[in-house]
Amino acid sequence: MPPRLVRPLSRRVTRPVSLIVLATWIGVMGMLINRSYLQASPNLATDLARYGTAAQWRGVYYRGEKLGFTVSQTVPTADGFELQEDGQLQMSLLGATTAARIRTTAEVDRAFALRSFVFSLDPGTGPIKIDGRVEGRTLHLSVTSGSGTRTETRDLPEPPMLSLNLSRRLADAGMTPGARLQWTIFDPATLRNAPVRVDVGHREMVRAGNVSIPAFRVEMEYSGLHTTSWVTDTGEVVREESPMGLISVREPVERARAMAVPSRPIDWAARHLEHHAHADREGDPHSPIDGLLHAHVGWLFSVTPAKRDRYCRALMRDPTVMLIERTAVVWLALGLIVPALVDGWRGLLWGGIVRIAVHNHTMFAVNSICHAFGSQPFQTGDESRNNRLIAVLAFGEGWHNNHHAFPSMAYHGMGSRPDATGLVIRALERAGLAWDVHRPSAAAIERHRARRLRADRAVAD
């Protein structure tokens, strides 16, 4: 009998350890799924419960990146309407990302003139609530924040109007291309009353979600800020753009509420390219500089949406990539179903869950361990390392310093180190199934090596 290299541990030890590993994995996956798909807090869910099927949902974007959503509806009351709006936006404050909540409820008469409103803003640090009541041209305000409530009364030159009912009044007045209107708008966020100038343009077809809707192009000037909106005959704002790159556009509810889903393939690609653009500097989504655990798995829980538009435009135009993107959950499910069909519960555990967990952690280790432990044959200006153990486990990806030195190179092992992925790509290339395979020239490698030697010598001197 051959000598046993490892003496198996007793089942009394292995069983609880396996259970803990399994429970931890299920817990982490549960948290991720909750963050990605059901991120709405119970609080938000109650707030949104008032919105029916007629509510209008909008996605809010900043320079092509999803920031959040708003939802609004108009409910008829005995002698007018109640206008309701809720929103959630991701805000970056001092480097930390929090979800800010905005809620407005306004009572207006049949002509959409304002009677009272309640506005609240919670940037994640506690809400600020503003109650307003209009009596003729007098506005009674009460502002409630963590430090208490203060009240004040303001006399306005004309009855105040919320931006919320502007488009309704515009439709009420009748949309005439070429018309110029001037009103006063009260901004509850700044407690200021300022004139707004509205220019109605021509009717255009504007895209919202998957449909095109005819709407009037409306230019607005408010406190030196210019916005362009597209408003329908009935006063619905289909799309709104500001020159700073802030866009809100009508969308189906699921799309409006969908935020960053870290498991979508293009999000992974976007975060990976962002990592290369800022490796181990400010802006790197996963650097051990912010802690090894953060680089390994903690970054997955960050709520910042992936910068898909900045880094992955070309991928998003590729129909094959988009097909995989849209069906990603199917492939993930097949990875559990197939092993379960082959070997029941044991198949599901070892061929499904454990396989995915091990693969996830080796991939995560490329971000954490390969930026902390290993050798640096190339001077890349970041902390990337070649790590033999991770290279074997991650099918060659562990030659991470090589990868940062030549990011487009297909063989991380550079032909001389164990690199299973490189072998597969080479086989595909031989079979004619892969082309344009990038490999740096011997001269380029030599130049890069020499840079390292020069730097080492400079340090030694």
Q: Which is nearer to Zn ion, 72 or 384 (CB)?
A: 384
Alpha-helical segments (H) within 77-227: 166-173
Q: Which is nearer to Zn ion, 250 or 308 (CB)?
A: 308
24: Cα separation from own chain's centroid: 25
CB of 287 to Zn ion, least distance (A): 8
Q: Which is nearer to Zn ion, 84 or 367 (CB)?
A: 367
Which residue of the chain is nearest Zn ion when measured via CB? Answer: 384
CB of 421 to Zn ion, least distance (A): 12
CB of 273 to Zn ion, least distance (A): 8
DSSP assignment of 6-44 equals: SPPPPHHHHHHHHHHHHHHHHHHHHHHHHHHHS---HHH
Site track 164-203 with Zn ion (rule: CB under 5 A), x = hit: ----------------------------------------
Q: Which is nearer to Zn ion, 90 or 387 (CB)?
A: 387
CB of 51 to Zn ion, least distance (A): 42
CB of 442 to Zn ion, least distance (A): 22
- Strand residues in 146-284 grouped as ranges (E): 148-155, 180-187, 192-208, 211-222, 225-231, 237-241, 246-250
CB of 84 to Zn ion, least distance (A): 46
CB of 400 to Zn ion, least distance (A): 5
The residues near 176 (Cβ < 8 Å, ≥ 6 apart) are 200
CA angle (230 as vertex; 307, 316 as ends), nearest 5:
25
The Cα–Cα gap between 74 and 84 comes to: 6
Nearest to 288 by CA among 398, 365, 362: 365
The Cα–Cα gap between 363 and 370 comes to: 10
134: Cα separation from own chain's centroid: 39
SS3 409: coil
CA dihedral (11, 16, 17, 20) in degrees, to 10, reads: 160
CB of 36 to Zn ion, least distance (A): 23
Q: Which is nearer to Zn ion, 88 or 380 (CB)?
A: 380
The Cα–Cα gap between 9 and 46 comes to: 50
Q: Which is nearer to Zn ion, 265 or 347 (CB)?
A: 265
Site track 260-299 with Zn ion (rule: CB under 5 A), x = hit: ----------------------------------------
The long-range contacts involving 194-202, CB below 8 angstroms and separated by at least 24 positions, are 194/222, 194/223, 195/222, 196/163, 196/166, 196/220, 196/221, 196/222, 197/221, 197/222, 198/166, 198/170, 200/170, 200/175, 200/176, 201/177, 202/177
Q: Which is nearer to Zn ion, 134 or 269 (CB)?
A: 269
The Cα–Cα gap between 299 and 278 comes to: 15
Site track 348-387 with Zn ion (rule: CB under 5 A), x = hit: ------------------------------------x---
Site track 381-410 with Zn ion (rule: CB under 5 A), x = hit: ---x--------------------------
Q: Which is nearer to Zn ion, 74 or 384 (CB)?
A: 384
CB of 387 to Zn ion, least distance (A): 11
By CB under 5 A, the count of residues binding Zn ion is: 1
Q: Which is nearer to Zn ion, 167 or 384 (CB)?
A: 384
Interface contacts to Zn ion, rule CB under 5 A = 384
